[in-house]
Amino acid sequence: MSLRLLNDDDYECPRPIWQAAARETGQGDPFCCQPVWQLSFHRSFAENCRVDVRQDGDSVLAFSERVAASGRRCLVPLEPSWCFGSPLLGDDAPGLLADALADWMTGYGACPDLLVSGLICDSVRRARFLRIFGRIFDCYLYQESRQCFASLSGGLDGFLSRRSANHRRKLKKSARRATDAGVVFECCRPLSPEASRAVFARMLAVEEQSWKGIGHCGMAEPPARRFYAVLLAALARTGDARVIFARCDGRDIGFIFGGMAGNVYRGQQFSFVDSWRPFSIGNLLQLEKIRWLCEDGVLRYDMGPISGPRMGYKAHWTENVVALQTLLLRRS
């Protein structure tokens, strides 16, 4: 079998084929299909699990091994928690999976269970996958999520024209109040490990003063703290990190953080000092991020899952939703 533990070189070396396959094959969440997301999660949460990463032409397969308490083997995406990305990228990915299955059956002596994420509901890709592998496996719905995003067509003016008049009025009023209070915004694009550590330290300092930090439920808490530090460092290596700080009187009072997948931006975290809540710093950080992205010619603004606690605010910022399924495949 080609399953093996990863080493430092595996995490840090460029993976242009994998990155291109994630960005160019019509994925529901292209950022989270990239190696920067998948490998950052694996390094943070499952570094002692073996993986099988294969490439053929422009297609990629990437699975990680898990062993249940019963001893049953399962192959899952490298990021199997939120299941935002896909372990199968490119037109030849089904062939890669068929070859891998033959190897895994030989190595394990039986066919392992498979968890396949990132399948867009009612898509041609999902139908093809089920047509090929539905003959081999019983397929069960394991998880479904709804991801939201917005077009940045027409720049900032075009984006705002697609928001409600009430939302635009509130943004304008909040921006005026914040400006009068001395709030300014600083764009950061860390490009080295040292720069990413400095930026992350500033983010944590804000987070610890936010409602999430006060409630000990945010990215300052382990294991999320390690994951986002690893992710930001990885994004700095590829030049794809995008962070904005809100500042007043020389100190940080808020931040917004995300990363790029070609012409698609994917938000990750934002936070602000809780005492600044009346100034709508979170909304203004979103607005400044969209302004920056439009100036850079970015085409799409991804905000991740729209359902769940405290996710309703995303409806004001997005107009498109894609439903993603994760399927559990088990040999009967």
Delineate the domains of the chain, giving CATH numbers in brackets: 8-146+323-330 (3.40.630.30), 153-298 (3.40.630.30)
Q: Among 57, 67, 68, 48, which Cα is nearest to 4's?
A: 48
Of the pLDDT bands very low, low, confident and very high (cuts 50, 70, 90), residue 316 is: very high
Residue 28 pLDDT exceeds 90: yes
* CA 301/CA 188 separation, integer angstroms: 18
* CA 19/CA 80 separation, integer angstroms: 19
Q: Are 53 and 15 in contact (CB under 8 A)?
A: no
Q: Are 283 and 170 in contact (CB under 8 A)?
A: yes
Q: Are 230 and 249 in contact (CB under 8 A)?
A: no
Element housing 210 (H / E) = none
226-280 confidence digits (pLDDT tens): 999 999 999 999 999 999 999 999 999 999 999 999 999 999 999 999 999 999 9
Per-residue pLDDT, 25: 80
205-216 confidence digits (pLDDT tens): 999 999 999 999
Classify 314 as helix, strand or coil.
helix
CA angle 232, 216, 259 (to 5 degrees): 20
* CA 1/CA 100 separation, integer angstroms: 8
Q: What is the pTM of this model?
A: 0.96
| Range 220-230 average pLDDT | 97
